[in-house]
Amino acid sequence: MKERLGLSPTGAGHYDLNCRAGVFGLDTTHFVHTRSSTRPWTDDQLRAAADGAGTRLEVLERLHVPIQSKFFKKLDRDLEKLDLKAVLTGRIRRTRRRWSDDQLRLAVAGARGVASTIRALGLVAAGGNYDHVQRAFESSDSTLRIFRARAGIAA
């Protein structure tokens, strides 16, 4: 239908048409999907890959798909559609930590707070670095105990 109207399958015209169809309550589920960039897996392949997988990364690896954000987005959409989202319980770390646990312990030992800990690790005390360091605190009981003791926070 979009081609007959002179619209591309993506872009502003695509979204305008989909919104109008929704406003008028038109059912477009029977339209044939003609985009050239289809998903690289079938529903059955996705079910098999998700069976026993703990993370989305494992699912993509089992599907032999490149680890790229566009495939994570497609995977999320398809897992939701197939009611498989709850099957995946694990969380993956997308970025690697730039420090070891020993470096974190040393940074915490000489720090007065989270910001000074971040600076001691050689990072800028802003944004996502707080999240990374605080997650590291949560995963390391000994580091958290040292930090709480130095900050005078009860356990």
Mean pLDDT of the chain: 75
10 Å CB burial of residue 34 (0-12, 13-18, 19+) is exposed
**Model pLDDT, residue 48:** 92
- One domain for residues 138 and 107: yes
pLDDT surpasses 60 at 25: yes
35 band by pLDDT with thresholds 50, 70 and 90: very low
- One domain for residues 28 and 64: no
Taking every pair of Cα atoms in the chain, the longest distance, rounded to a whole number of angstroms, is 70
Enclosing domain of residue 112: 101-151
**Model pLDDT, residue 46:** 92
- One domain for residues 3 and 23: yes
- One domain for residues 43 and 85: yes
- One domain for residues 84 and 44: yes
pLDDT surpasses 50 at 50: yes
Percent of the chain with pLDDT over 70: 65
Provide the 8-state DSSP code for 20.
Answer: H
- CA 148, CA 146: separation in Å to the nearest integer? 6
Radius of gyration of the chain (CA): 23
pLDDT surpasses 90 at 92: no
Residue matched to tokens 């319980």: 89
149 band by pLDDT with thresholds 50, 70 and 90: low
- One domain for residues 69 and 87: yes
**Model pLDDT, residue 121:** 86
Going by C-alpha positions, the residue among 135, 122, 126, 52 that lies closest to residue 95 is 135
Among 73, 92, 111, residue at a domain's last position: 92
What is the pTM (predicted TM-score) of this model? Answer: 0.39
User: 93-108: per-residue pLDDT in tens?
Assistant: 445 667 777 788 788 8
Q: How many domains does the chain have?
A: 3
Cβ count within 10 A of residue 8: 11
- Contact status, residue 54 vs residue 77, Cβ threshold 8 Å: no
Rounded average pLDDT over 13-33: 73
